Homo-oligomer: A and B are copies of this chain.
Amino acid sequence: MAQDLADLSLVEALGSIEAGTCQAGDIVESCLDRIEALEPRVRAWQHRPDRKAFMAGWRSRQASHGQSPLKGLLVGVKDIMDTTEFPTERGSSIYRGRMATADASCVALLRWAGAEFPGKTVTTEFAYFQPGQTTNPHRQTHTPGGSSSGSAAAVACGMVPVALGSQTAGSTIRPASYCGVVGFVPSHGLHALRGVMPLSPSFDTLGMLTRSVADAALIHRLLLDGRSDGRPDTCRPRRILLMSGEQFGEVSPSMTSAMETVADRLKEHEVEIVQTDRLACMDDAVATHERIMAFEAARTLASEYASRRSELGPQLLQLLEVGQAMGLEEYLHLLERRDGMIRTYAEAVAGFDGIAAPAAPDAAPRGTDFTGSAHMSRPWQLIGVPQIALPGLRDPNEMPLGVQLIGLTRQDERLLGLAAWFELKVFSVKA
């Protein structure tokens, strides 16, 4: 597809509007054209307004857009996030047609900043594993990943420049990797999650799907304190820990080869790298994450488990049953283990500018009745550190392979600066 206005990143689009080379309305129309053209195949949207009505509303708010940071540009919103103008169905028949009485915090903050919402993006059932209808924009036969399936797919094919997602296990990093976009998961606890359907509060985190690191940094900062004037300070690393991912699960030859490409390019830039298959402090991290998540999900979804059980998918039901059977002592023990990992992780990576690791075990697998494995994300989500998946590499079938960078808790700005350097120096290189 030829480059058109819909392919501009958010920061590029805002720059063009600022410079007077194009108008926000034209960019929005270009995105809506893209949605109309590709939605029959990609199916990224759970709810979409009538185009004419949407644009009439958009024009009526145009005066206030002009003064706003986001100028009326489009943001996709995952359908576990409450919005006042669309239903919020959480990927479940239980909530078909459910209208929320207020915007989720993240939606309200972006609306306030001048974002417009052209609908809700498809989520898996309650942001767990049961897929929605979305396909991978790169190949219709392949999963887009989950649970932020629609958000990743919509951003990948230019329907919107950015979309909100969430991550409890691997729900932003994995679909970003499969769809070939940037997926940013900030430190746990930073962003307000009111109005976002929870699953496991110790892990639930807002996610951002974008086509550039600068876009992720802009949305992150806008949500936190309304600032829109900063860009991440590109930060050249001196020392990177490269993890194979094999500690957490099987990694494909293509992904292993992608990690070797990263290693080679870092060497070309004279970045010191330490390669390892294992971070001792993260042994059992996957299982610890899975068990805590099961315990918390069973309490969080107690209402649906008690009264709407027949409407829950089999994977979610199994998770809730595992969690129901767990006792308090095990839960407290797992939280202690997690706290220990948080401490030892900080010590283990103290000498590095960051960790680079596979964002998923492989490129998107063939099939759309599953969303792939979250194992490459669970360890980092367990300890609440910021993570960012970067696109740029491909497997022999031209399917995207994402590489993630992992940072230190609440050093999100530093991780974004590192990611900006990788985006420029490692992933912009044509393979």
Contacts and interface: CB of A to CB of B under 8 A. Distances in A.
A224 B328 contact: yes
Interface in A202-221: 202, 221
Contacts of A104: 303
Interface in A173-221: 189, 191-195, 197-198, 201-202, 221
A431 interface: no
Nearest to A199: B194
A328 B225 contact: yes
Contacts of A101: 95, 98
A303 B105 contact: yes
Given A225-B326, A225-B327, A328-B221, A303 B198 contact: no
A139 interface: no
Nearest to A304: B102
Given A105-B302, A303-B105, A227 B327 contact: yes
A359 to B, nearest CB: 26
A419 B295 CA distance: 27
A150 B194 CA distance: 24
A307 B85 CA distance: 14
A409 to B, nearest CB: 9
A201 B195 contact: no
Interface in A91-137: 95, 98, 101-105, 107-109, 111-112
A37 interface: no
Interface string A278-314: 0000000000000000001001111110110000000
Nearest to A306: B112
Contacts of A112: 302, 306
Main secondary structure, interface of A, reads: helix
A299 B332 contact: no
A109 B299 contact: yes
Contacts of A331: 224-225
A335 interface: yes
Nearest to A223: B299
A306 B157 CA distance: 32
A169 to B, nearest CB: 18
A410 interface: yes
Given A202-B189, A328-B225, A328-B227, A300 B194 contact: yes
A400 B238 CA distance: 63
Contacts of A301: 105, 194
29 contacts: A98-B101, A102-B303, A103-B302, A103-B303, A105-B299, A105-B301, A105-B303, A108-B302, A111-B306, A112-B306, A189-B201, A189-B202, A191-B299, A192-B198, A192-B201, A192-B300, A192-B302, A193-B198, A194-B197, A221-B328, A223-B299, A224-B299, A225-B326, A225-B327, A226-B324, A227-B328, A332-B410, A335-B410, A336-B410
Closest 3 CB pairs of A and B: A192-B299, A108-B303, A108-B302
Given A103-B302, A189-B202, A227-B327, 20 more contacts: A98-B101, A102-B304, A103-B303, A105-B301, A107-B303, A108-B302, A108-B303, A108-B307, A109-B302, A111-B306, A112-B302, A192-B201, A192-B299, A194-B197, A195-B303, A225-B326, A225-B327, A225-B328, A227-B328, A336-B410
